Chain A
């Protein structure tokens, strides 16, 4: 049986698509370990980047760990611990922290691990999680003890995404 030209073109496209898809999937799987934007604290021991190599460290800022100072030459300095649960790494950073930076928030810091186990960051980026919440709702959750932002992610979205607490805000 001879295929019509349209059928033949369809098959060529389908086969090429399958081949390309497989190749991409294989490549991405092979590179999955290298395509990381940051390492979590518990991955550092396994990867052991050494003191010379700069890398990004990512995780949550541990509750109660943030200490802000001023360096002798008047620049702001921050000390905090980054955790992913099983492991924690102390971080020092001299510079201005981004707006979203707070305890319990995700951060990605770029720097080097010094021999004493302290991570000296030259750049701190705040991560935003996927929650979008009006201030009244966040206040209500905090007031009723359902959520302490310092401890990390908010409760499941279904419990608050239709909540309509009385507005506490003043003005507009």
Chain B
């Protein structure tokens, strides 16, 4: 699953000289070497768990949960659509946190995490929009409406894509990361707008069914498979992002080593 071979654990070169070593609190995880060692052990288990939970959730949602009394079997789109919507927003909250850490504390891993997060977030948001559209055509009678909920989620999709493009648009990586972090933080204002758009404005989109776990407007026979699917997709999302961050950290180290080697050869010549 990991694809890239792990470097020797005693790899001598830290990613950035500013990485605090052996510090307490959050800084413990800002060290790329420690991150690689930790995820090397964690990731296989995470992948296995993610595949198992998603598989179980999908089977429950597709074969062992009831149809809806008026939507019929179309209700099963909800088991993908709702987790994707939650992940699109939760993932963006993660991007905002990574951007904060990057801007204020200059964590070396936060930039990498933000950069690797946005393509996955864009994909998840696209899936949310696509599944919603597929559900909307037979149920509402339209693929799309410019109501507050749908428009604000479309803006979220553009923010994800924009962030992914912006951080890659600079020759100097750090400037791209800085610009991306500012964009991500400005865009975070969209999250409460999405969440409450269905309550603040009158929309075609229905309001939330799963608000308080005590009184959801959804029968438990549908709610439980939905929650398992959401957990499974979240684990998949986390595994995918962690694997991408690992690969990016290793790529960076490889480039640094090649650069050092080239310099040594130059010096010897």
Residues of A within 8 A of B (CB): 6, 9-10, 13, 16-17, 20-21, 24, 28, 32, 35-38, 40, 58, 97-102, 108, 123-139, 156-158, 160-163
Q: Give the total number of A-B pairs whose CB atoms are below 8 A apart.
A: 132
How many residues on chain B are close to A (CB under 8 Å)? Answer: 44
Q: B218–A98 contact, CB under 8 A?
A: no
Most chain A CB within a 10 A radius of its CB, from B69, B78, B139, B216: B69
Residues of B within 8 A of A (CB): 66-71, 75, 78, 100, 103-105, 138-142, 145-148, 185-186, 189, 193, 200-204, 206-209, 214-223
Q: B104–A129 contact, CB under 8 A?
A: no
Known: A37-B202, A132-B217. A99 touches B138 (CB 8 A): yes
CA distance A116 to B75 in the complex (A): 40
> Which B residues lie within 8 Å of A133 (CB)?
68-69, 218-219
CA distance A156 to B103 in the complex (A): 46
> Which B residues lie within 8 Å of A20 (CB)?
186, 189
Q: Contact check: which of A9, A128, A158 meets B139 at CB < 8 Å?
A: A128
Q: Contact check: which of A13, A21, A137 meets B104 at CB < 8 Å?
A: A13
Known: A9-B104, A37-B147, A134-B66. A108 touches B216 (CB 8 A): no
Closest Cβ of chain A to B103, distance in Å, is 6
Closest Cβ of chain A to B106, distance in Å, is 8
Known: A21-B189, A129-B206, A156-B215. A98 touches B140 (CB 8 A): yes
Closest Cβ of chain A to B213, distance in Å, is 11
Q: B220–A161 contact, CB under 8 A?
A: yes
CA distance A40 to B202 in the complex (A): 9
CA distance A99 to B141 in the complex (A): 7
